[in-house]
Amino acid sequence: MGAQLRVYRRRIRSVNATKKITKAMELIAASRIVKAQQRVADSTPYAEAITRAVSAVASFSDVDHPLTHSPGDAERESDGPRRAAKLLLTSDRGLAGAYSSNAIREGERLTELLRSEGKEIVPFVVGRKGVGFYRFRGRELAGEWTGFSESPSYQDAKEVADAVIEAFLKPNEEGGVDEIHIVYTQFVSMVSQRTVTRRLLPLEIEETEEEPEGGALPLYEFEPSAEDVLDALLPRYIESRVYNALLQSAASELAARRRAMKSATDNATELIKSYTIKANAARQAEITQEISEIVGGANALADATAGSE
């Protein structure tokens, strides 16, 4: 066997081994994404319902709560927020295409926007990819969480939400923040995921005559008071929004990994076909060379025999 043929066969074996791994990862992601989609579908109605409840309490009461803010508040507008928290959701593992890099890029765009408004950024990051991005550049993190990007629990969301709410309630002099923004990947479908940015706090109260999405807000009677109701509802509101964002990101990560692994498997199949064709050509060339040598040797022997006679 010629050296070139050995090289091609060794490459075919190597690509075949890689193909088995990528195919297995594709099947694992495909099996997990169904459960992830179901968890997103189960959490979305609760998140929407508590959002409507908080909106109703904030809209139909005159309470001045620290977690709400009206654009018409002249005092707050004149001071202006000085520090803004950014909660970035990324993955713990790679091999998911551009999933984490898209979220990080969106987070960097948000950082530039907030800095252009004169605000200091306080980053909170979920996922090893995002944490690694910040550590490599020597940037400080106000909070970091890893180990649950593919399958987050409500307790994980509560831990993250508690940290950002605590930062929001602190005075600026003690390291508190005036705003909380979240950057995550929204799951649209198996083939479409969208990186989005949302402001969680403070809530903005807007005066409008248009009917809210989902119909008119319900009318409530507040006991013991609207402020106490908001005190109880708003932490649950932030927890539910963070939990829903974590679930959306988990489903998006699995969909991105499935798509990336399918692409890698298809590329490996094409590469094996290409190497097989080259190996066959090299083998054919070797056979042709051997035949030519045999025929040449036979002719030389026949000529030598005829000359001796």
Find the mean pLDDT for residues 298-307: 75
Residue boundaries of the structural domains of the chain: 20-204+215-259
According to DSSP, the residues that pair with 9 across neighbouring strands are none
Is 60 exceeded by the pLDDT of residue 76?
no
Residue 44 has pLDDT above 60, yes or no: yes
Residue 70: pLDDT band (50, 70, 90) is very low
Return d(Cα 179, Cα 17) in angstroms, integer: 49
For residue 200, pLDDT over 90 is answered with: no
CA dist 135 → 128, 130, 138, 140, 245 (Å): 10, 9, 5, 7, 24
Per-residue pLDDT at 72: 37
Q: Which of 135-149, 163-177, 221-235 has the lowest mean pLDDT?
A: 221-235
Calculate ∠ Cα 267-271-275, nearest 5°. Answer: 175
Q: Give the whole-angstrom CA distance, residue 183 versus residue 40.
A: 17
Q: Is the pLDDT of residue 247 over 60?
A: yes
CATH 3.40.50.10490, applies to 20-204+215-259: no
pLDDT at 216 > cutoff 80: no
Between 175 and 222, the higher pLDDT residue: 175
Q: Give the pLDDT confidence score for residue 289 in this predicted structure.
A: 81
Instruction: Say how far apart CA 200 and CA 181 lie, in whole Å.
Output: 6
**Looking at residue 296, what is its pLDDT?**
81
- The helix/strand/coil state of 47 is helix
Statement: residue 240 has pLDDT above 80 = yes
* Mean predicted confidence (pLDDT) in 194-219: 69
Q: What is the pLDDT of residues 254-293, one digit of tens each?
A: 999 999 999 999 999 999 999 999 989 888 888 888 888 8
The rounded percent of the chain whose pLDDT value lies above 70 is 84
pLDDT at 185 over 90: yes
Q: What average pLDDT does range 197-226 have in this prediction?
A: 66
Q: Is the pLDDT of residue 77 over 60?
A: no
* 74 vs 269, more confident: 269
Over residues 220-241, mean pLDDT:
79
Residue 228 has pLDDT above 90, yes or no: no
Predicted local confidence at residue 309, as pLDDT: 58
